[in-house]
């Protein structure tokens, strides 16, 4: 695998471009479209690699399900993780614009595959 860093480490001391947030959102949406529920999605379980690739780790409690309200719960869990990191660390770059870009990435997959 190319060099990669967790999302939590990447946003500490650096700003992610809008396109990166959109790619992360699109990646998560792709899992959800396939019915893949990540039971513990957080900023430590998302890897950003060279070339813009996004990887999701730690599926030990994940499962395949029918689509549903669990998707919003997974996204809310990720948001809480990002806010927690922002409270705990110094110089973390995460704000409402970033979250909006992430959600735009989620929506782009839903719109494209509707």
Q: Is 9 tagged catalytic?
A: no
Q: Express each pLDDT in 12-69 by its tens digit.
A: 999 999 999 999 999 999 999 999 999 999 999 999 999 999 999 999 899 999 999 9
Concatenate the DSSP letters of all residues of 10-76 into one string: HTBSS---HHHHHHHHHHHHHHHHTTEE-TT--TTSEEEEGGG-EEE---TT-EE--SSTHHHHHHH
Reported confidence tier of residue 114, pLDDT bands at 50, 70, 90: low
Please give the domain boundaries of the chain with CATH numbers for all domains.
4-108 (1.10.510.10)
Q: Which of 40, 58, 60, 98 is catalytic?
A: 40
Q: Express each pLDDT in 64-95 by its tens digit.
A: 999 999 999 999 999 999 999 999 999 999 99
| Predicted local confidence at residue 10, as pLDDT | 96
For residue 68, report the phi and psi dihedrals to the nearest 5 degrees: 180, -160
């Amino acid at each position: 695998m190319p060099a990669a860093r967790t999302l939590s480490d990447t946003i500490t001391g650096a700003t992610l471009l809008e396109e990166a947030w959109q790619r992360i959102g699109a990646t998560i949406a792709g899992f959800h479209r396939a019915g893949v529920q990540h039971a513990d999605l957080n900023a430590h379980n998302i890897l950003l690699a060279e070339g813009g690739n996004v990887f999701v780790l730690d599926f030990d409690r994940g499962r395949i399900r029918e689509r549903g309200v669990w998707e919003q719960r997974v996204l809310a869990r990720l948001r809480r993780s990002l806010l927690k990191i922002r409270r705990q660390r110094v110089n973390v770059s995460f704000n409402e614009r970033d979250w909006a870009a992430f959600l735009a990435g989620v929506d782009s997959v839903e719109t494209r595959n509707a």
